[in-house]
Structure 1
Amino acid sequence: MKKNIGLFVVLVLILIFAVFAIRWIEHRMKYVISDAVFVETDYLSNLGFNRVSGKIIQLYKKEGDAVKADETIAKIDDTDYKIQLENINYEIESLKQQKSQLENQLSRIIQENELNQKITSLTTQEIEKKIESLSAQKSQVEAQIEKAKKDEERYRNLLEKGLVPKAKYEEINTQLKVLLDQKKAIEKSISELNLSKAKSKETVELVKTQGQVSKEIQDQISALENKILALTKQKEDLENQIKYTELKSPYNGIIAKKYVSIGDIVKAGQPVYAIVKENSFYIKVLLEETKLSGVKVGNKAYIKLDAYPDKTFEGVVESIDIASAAKFALVPRDISAGEFTKLAQRIPVKIRITKGDMGLLRVGLGGEVEIEKK
């Protein structure tokens, strides 16, 4: 009886083993299994200050903290940059005041110039007309003088002979003197007008000089405008640099690494934090070439991570690399001589996670994957 019971137990155990063996074989035929599994991300960024350097005065996050897009996560001392900005603002304001003064001066000179040009133009024309008129009068008087001289000489001869009374001669002589005085007055007037004309020409030269001064002032204004423009660009650049003294997160994510401490002096571009983008994790599998059969893009996959053995993540195969991982090794194997040890090459397979608590994932975690075959 005992022998029969022992035989029955053995048969039951054999049956159970056979069932488990068949199920294990069926599972292995249905799934590709690998433990070369790693949690990876396409968005692991080392963040540093852009274009600025200085002493760290604030670090707002620590490792493992969540961050939002455009959130300030660190700051360096911006005192020197603000002092430079104040100096540039003062210099720009000073140059603007100089420019305003020159513009006012230029406006006055232009107005005076225009007025002088009008006055000079009118005065010259009037003087020339007066000179022309007086010259005509002088010619007439000179003709009268010539006639009066002849009359005076004729009456003087007649007077000497006693043929005309003395009063008549004196009348003729007086007319000659009047005409001579009139000629002198006209010549004096013409001389004065010529002097006025010369002064008018001096005014024209003054107008020309003022025009040259106007050009020089305009050149000074242009030079100031160029300086103001250059300083304005410097100001805008400094304002950007002041903004850069605040380090901001480019996207929602988690602080993976903090490289510096408060009080450290950092250079532009030096890493301050490493940030992993939110929900950017995927599973990287280095799958042996002997297990590639049946693995296609779109196949379902089930992942268990060593850190969370009681949790299962689901996913799908997103891509299968075109080359083996060894092809991109820092020191690839040299097989040109034909001497090599045959090893199973591994092909990187990317699995996109579709189900599971993404908040548990950390870059670098290992585990095991089962990929359905098709």
Structure 2
Amino acid sequence: MANGVRKIVLSGVVLAVLAGGAVAGGNWWREGRFMESTDNAYVQSDITVVSPKVSAYVRDVKAAENQLVRAGDVLAVLDDQDFRAKVAEAQAAVAAQRAALGTLDSKLDLQRTVIDQAAATLASAEAEQRRAQQEYERSRSLANDSWTSRQKLETADADLRKAVAQVAKSRAALAAENEQVNVLHATRTETEAHLAQAEATLRTARIDLENTVVRAPVDGVVGNRGVQVGQYARPGVQLLSLVPLPDVYVVANFKETQLSRMRPGQHVSISVDAFPDRHLEGTVESFAPASGSKFSLLPPENATGNFTKIVQRVPVRIALPRDNALAGLLRPGLSVEAEVDTRGADALPHMPAGGVFGALADKQAVAAR
């Protein structure tokens, strides 16, 4: 009797194991074989490092650590005395060049009057020359008939020569005055160039003055704030960082052997270590153009020394919806586990529509036409 019960129990256990194995095998065949997971994944965000555009001492700090700011909000104020002085100097230079232009315009107006005066002088000289010419012709005719003295003829001849010389002098003076107009125009062009240069210097000085007020370039939360009042700020030196929460995403470092059926647009199940009771849904967005080791500070050189094959990992960017269950709670650097459902990989392109390679293909197609 005991042996019969034992056989029945053992048979039940075997049947249960077989049934469980069949169920597990069926689940693996239907779903499990399509799932690729990794715990080498982290929450990331496009952190903006804020640094000044000009060098000056920090006069005031408006942003506190962990404070939420909007684009355009004042983060810090630099001492602007030197920059205000440069703006005043540039404004004076612009005013001087504009005054010089006004002076040249007045000279041009005056020069036109001088030219009219020189033209009138030339006309008077030419009229005097014609009168002297006529007087000379009469005196010579009368002298030939002995009706006038030789002295009068010589006087008429001298007057004619004097009139001719006066005409030449008046023509030269008119030409000189006309040339002076060209000189004034050239000087005006040069002054306009100096004015444009002074205005550009003024714009630069005003931009530098505006840059003494450091503003937030994007919406975000202040972090890693190292700026203090009295500190000497320089371009390129970090003042603080802005983390654009809740605009975060996940970067999962999958093994190269897991990528064969992974495509953009596939569904991703995400669990965050900090919130183990909540699960998020994401989408595969893109793949890194190289493995993580290629972007390291010292990339491995496999062509030297003893070679040991190591499975490489490729960063995969996973998009999270803005209205996810942990919106506003996720922070860059948190550890997560990501599981990608690769079913239907054959129906999905390796790159999303409008991606880098799609754009290149479009350009090549246009060039081929």
Q: Could you say which structure has the higher helix fraction?
A: 1
1:76 is aligned to 78
Tell me the distance in 1 between the aligned counterparts of 2:172 and 2:293: 90
1:334 to 302, 318, 325: 302
Counterpart pick for 1:315 among 263, 267, 282:
282
1:40 partnered with 2:8: no
For the residues of structure 1 that align with 2:221 and 2:255, how far apart are their CA atoms?
Answer: 32
Note closer, same or farther for the CA distance 1:66–1:107 as it changes in structure 2 (3 Å cut): same
Name the structure 1 match of 2:243. 276
What letter corresponds to residue 274 of structure 1 in structure 2?
S
Instruction: Report the counterpart of residue 332 of structure 2 in structure 1.
Output: 363
Give runs of aligned pairs for residues 205-220 of structure 1, distance below 5 A: 205-220=172-187
Work out whether 1:255 is the aligned partner of 2:222: yes
- If asked which structure has higher relative contact order (CA below 8 Å, sep 6+), I would say 1
Instruction: State the match for 2:126 in structure 1.
Output: 124
Instruction: State how far apart, in whole Å, the 1-side matches of 2:285 and 2:228 are.
Output: 39
Greater C-alpha Rg: 1
The normalised TM-score by structure 2 is: 0.71
CA positional deviation for 1:248: 3.0
Q: CA separation in 2, counterparts of 1:324 and 1:206?
A: 83
> Of 125, 138, 141, which aligns to 1:139?
141
- Of stretches 360-369 and 127-136 in structure 1, the one that deviates more from structure 2 is 127-136
User: Which of 32, 57, 61 is equivalent to 1:29?
Assistant: 32
| Cα drift, residue 346 of structure 1 | 3.5
Task: List per-residue Cα deviations over 1:131-155 (Å, max 9, x = no partner).
Answer: 324532552355154xxxxxxxxxx
**Which of 101, 108, 111 does residue 109 from structure 1 map onto?**
111
Task: Give me the whole-angstrom Cα distance separating, in 2, the residues matched to 1:32 and 1:92.
Answer: 67
- 1:325 aligned onto 2:292: yes
Q: Write the distance in 1 (CA, Å) between the matches of 2:289 and 2:121.
A: 91
Alpha-carbon spacing, 1:217–1:371, altered in 2? closer, same or farther (3 Å): closer
Question: Within 2, Cα distance between the matches of 1:294 and 1:226?
Answer: 64
Which of the numbers 187, 190, 213 marks the counterpart of 1:246?
Answer: 213
After TM superposition, the score normalised by the length of structure 1 is 0.71
Q: Is the 8 A contact 1:92 1:231 kept in 2?
A: yes
Tell me how large the CA RMSD over aligned residues is.
Answer: 3.8
8 Å contact kept, 1:138–1:187: no
Distance 1:127 1:356 in 2: 106
Supply the distance in 2 between the matched residues of 1:234 and 1:49 (Cα, whole angstroms). Answer: 20
Structure 2: tracts of 5 or more residues without a match: 1-5, 344-369
Over 3 Å counting, the alpha-carbon distance change for 1:202 and 1:296 in structure 2 is: closer
Quick one: structure 1 residues 303 and 24, their matched pair in 2 at CA, closer, same or farther if it must change by over 3 Å?
A: farther
- Provide the rounded CA distance (Å) in 2 between the counterparts of 1:322 and 1:109: 71
Structure 1 residues 80-99: aligned runs within 5 Å: 80-99=82-101
Residue identity in the other structure for 1:362? R
> Runs of 5+ in structure 1 lacking a partner?
1-6, 146-178
Q: Tell me, in whole angstroms, the C-alpha distance in 2 between the residues paired with 1:296 and 1:137.
A: 115
Q: Secondary structure at the match of 1:112?
A: helix
Matched letter for residue 49 of structure 1:
P
